[in-house]
C-alpha cells in the first residue's frame, strides 16, 4: 500500500 | 498541502488553544473529560513515533506541539487544577475503547510491524477518543459556552479532513482506507453536538440538551 508509506498527514 | 487540510490543522490548533484558555481563564477544568484528554495524549504519542522522520518543518513542529500540549493539559487537569476535576462525572469506561482499538489495529493494518500497528491503533483511538467527553456532556446536560467552542473546533477539524481526503483523491489519487473509515466515524460522532451547537450556541443561548 502506497498510503501506508506516505504518512504526511497529522 | 491544500486549503481544507491547512484549515483543518489550524482548527485543531485553535481547539487546543480554546481549551487552554478555558482552563486558565476559569482556573477550572470542570466540564472537561480527563479521560478524553488522556486518550488524545495516547493518540499523539503512539502516532508520532516517527517524530524524527523528516517530512517538513510544518509536520515536525505540529507533531511536537500536539504531543507537548496534550501532556501539558493532563498536567493542568491532574495537578494544577486537580481540585476542580470531578471524576464522578467522568465515568466512561475507556478500557473497552483501548482494548477494542488495539484488537482492531492488530487485525486491520497495512503492515504488521510494531510502529505500523501503533500508528493504526492511534487512528482508531482518535476516532472514539471524544466519547468520554460527549458522554460527560450528555450526563450533565449542559456545558459552558467556551467548552462548546472547543468541541466545535475539534469537530470542524475532523469534518474538514473529510473534504481534504475527497480533494486528495481527485487531485493526487491519494487512498488511505484506514484513515478514511476512522475519520468518517469520528466526524459522525459529532453530528448530534453540531446540531445542538447550531440551534443553541450560535443563537446566543446556553448549550443545553433538549
pLDDT in tens, B1-23: 999 999 999 999 999 999 999 99
Cβ pair B113, B121 in contact under 8 A: no
| Grid cell at residue B185 | 466515524
Contacts of B162 in chain A (CB under 8 A): none
ipTM of predicted assembly, 2 dp: 0.82
Top-ranked range on mean pLDDT: pick from B18-22, B190-194, B203-207 = B18-22
Which residue in chain A has the smallest CA separation from B117? A4
Phi-psi region of B27 (alpha: psi -120 to 50; beta: other; left: phi over 0): left
Q: If you measure CA to CA, which chain B residue comes closest to A8?
A: B55
Q: What is the pLDDT of residues B38-55, one digit of tens each?
A: 999 999 999 999 999 999
- In chain B, the percentage of residues whose pLDDT exceeds 70 is 100
Contact B59 A4 (CB under 8 A): no
C-alpha R_g of chain B: 17
Which residues does B110 contact at the CB level (< 8 Å), separation at least 6? A1, A3, A4, B116, B120, B178
Rounded-to-integer distance, Cα B69 and Cα B147, Å: 17
Taking an 8 Å cut-off on Cβ atoms, the answer to whether B175 and A2 are in contact is yes
Give me the numbers of helices (H) and strands (E) for chain B, helices first please.
Answer: 9, 2
Q: Where are the alpha helices (DSSP H) in B48-176?
A: 57-75, 94-107, 114-128, 131-140, 145-172
What residues of chain A, 1 to 10, have a C-beta less than 8 Å from chain B? Answer: 1-4, 6-10
Angle at B3 between CA B59 and CA B18, to 5 degrees: 65
Amino acid at each position: 500500500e502506497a498510503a501506508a508509506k506516505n504518512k504526511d498527514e497529522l | 498541502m491544500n486549503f481544507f487540510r491547512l484549515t483543518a490543522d489550524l482548527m485543531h490548533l485553535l481547539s487546543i488553544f480554546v481549551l487552554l484558555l478555558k482552563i486558565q481563564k476559569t482556573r477550572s477544568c470542570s466540564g472537561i473529560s480527563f479521560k478524553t484528554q488522556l486518550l488524545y495524549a495516547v493518540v499523539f504519542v503512539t502516532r508520532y513515533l516517527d517524530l524524527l522522520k523528516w517530512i517538513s518543518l510544518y509536520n515536525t513542529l505540529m507533531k511536537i506541539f500536539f504531543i507537548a500540549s496534550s501532556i501539558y493539559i493532563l498536567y493542568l487537569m491532574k495537578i494544577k487544577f486537580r481540585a476542580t476535576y470531578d471524576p464522578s462525572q467522568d465515568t466512561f469506561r475507556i478500557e473497552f475503547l483501548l482494548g477494542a482499538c488495539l484488537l482492531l489495529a492488530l487485525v486491520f493494518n497495512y503492515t504488521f510491524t510494531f510502529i505500523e500497528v501503533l500508528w493504526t491503533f492511534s487512528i482508531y483511538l482518535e476516532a472514539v477518543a471524544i466519547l468520554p467527553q460527549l458522554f460527560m456532556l450528555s450526563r450533565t446536560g449542559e456545558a459552558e459556552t467556551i467548552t462548546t467552542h472547543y468541541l466545535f473546533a475539534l469537530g470542524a477539524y475532523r469534518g474538514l479532513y473529510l473534504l481534504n481526503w475527497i480533494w486528495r483523491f481527485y487531485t493526487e489519487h491519494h487512498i488511505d482506507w484506514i484513515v478514511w473509515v476512522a475519520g468518517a466515524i469520528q466526524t459522525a460522532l459529532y453530528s448530534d453536538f453540531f446540531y445542538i451547537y447550531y440551534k443553541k450556541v450560535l443563537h446566543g443561548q446556553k448549550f443545553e440538551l433538549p
